[in-house]
Structure formats: structure tokens, C-alpha cells
């Protein structure tokens, strides 16, 4: 896994003509963004923040996608437990 990450970092750096440190920095930013979105969506789905606030923080498309996913997970779980 570590070797695979090193290889990927090297390839990305070469492809974009960037130093490897810059690749790590961008990866960290993107990773943090995703983790932050998970936090916001969790707060919204748990009722901690309202819909408008969630949309303001992560965008309407991600909120609507999470709502649709939640509906599906609830439907599937309820069905599976009772089929």
C-alpha cells in the first residue's frame, strides 16, 4: 500500500509537473474537504443543522444525493429485516 501511494504520488507529480510535496498538500486538502462534507451531512441527517445550512456548506447536489441515499438505505434496511 505504501509503495502504491509513493508510485501514485510520483506519477501525479510527473504528470502535472509539480513537486511531490505539492501533491501531498493537494491530497490533504481534498481529503479534508471530503471528510468535512461527511461531517456536515451527518449533522444535517441527524437534525443538528437545517437543510439550508447544509446546502450552504456543501451544495444542493450533495444534500439532495444524501437525502436520496438515506431514503434508499431506510427502505432497504426495513425491507431486509422484514422480508
Partner 1 sequence: MTLAAVSDSGPLIHLAEIDSLELLSAFDTLLVPETVYAEIEAGGVPSGLADVSYELVDVDGEASAKEELDAGESAAIAVAAERDIVLLTDDLAARRFASDGGIEVHGSIGVIALAHGRGRLDADEAAARMRALQRETSLFVTEAVIERGIELLNEER
- Residues with Cβ within 8 Å of residue 48, at least 6 apart in sequence: 42
* Range in contact with partner 1 (rule: CB under 8 A) among 4-12, 14-22, 24-32, 69-77: 69-77
Over its C-alpha atoms, the chain yields an Rg (Å, rounded) of 18
Read off the C-alpha cell for 13. 507529480
Residue 51 CB, nearest approach to partner 1 (Å): 14
Query: 4, 46, 47, 61: which one contacts partner 1 (CB under 8 A)?
Result: 46
Tell me if 54 sits within 8 A of 43, measured CB to CB.
yes
Tell me if 23 sits within 8 A of 13, measured CB to CB.
yes
- Told to check if 76 binds partner 1 by CB under 8 A, we report yes
* Range in contact with partner 1 (rule: CB under 8 A) among 4-12, 20-28, 68-76: 68-76
Residues that bind partner 1 (CB under 8 A): 38, 41-42, 45-46, 65-66, 68-70, 72-83
Amino acid at each position: 500500500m505504501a509503495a502504491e501511494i509513493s508510485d501514485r504520488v510520483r506519477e501525479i507529480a510527473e504528470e502535472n509537473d509539480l513537486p511531490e510535496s505539492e501533491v501531498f498538500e493537494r491530497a490533504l486538502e481534498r481529503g479534508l474537504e471530503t471528510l468535512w462534507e461527511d461531517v456536515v451531512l451527518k449533522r444535517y441527517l441527524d437534525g443538528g443543522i437545517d437543510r439550508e445550512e447544509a446546502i450552504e456548506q456543501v451544495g444542493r447536489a450533495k444534500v439532495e444525493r444524501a437525502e436520496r441515499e438515506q431514503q434508499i438505505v431506510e427502505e432497504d434496511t426495513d425491507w431486509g429485516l422484514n422480508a
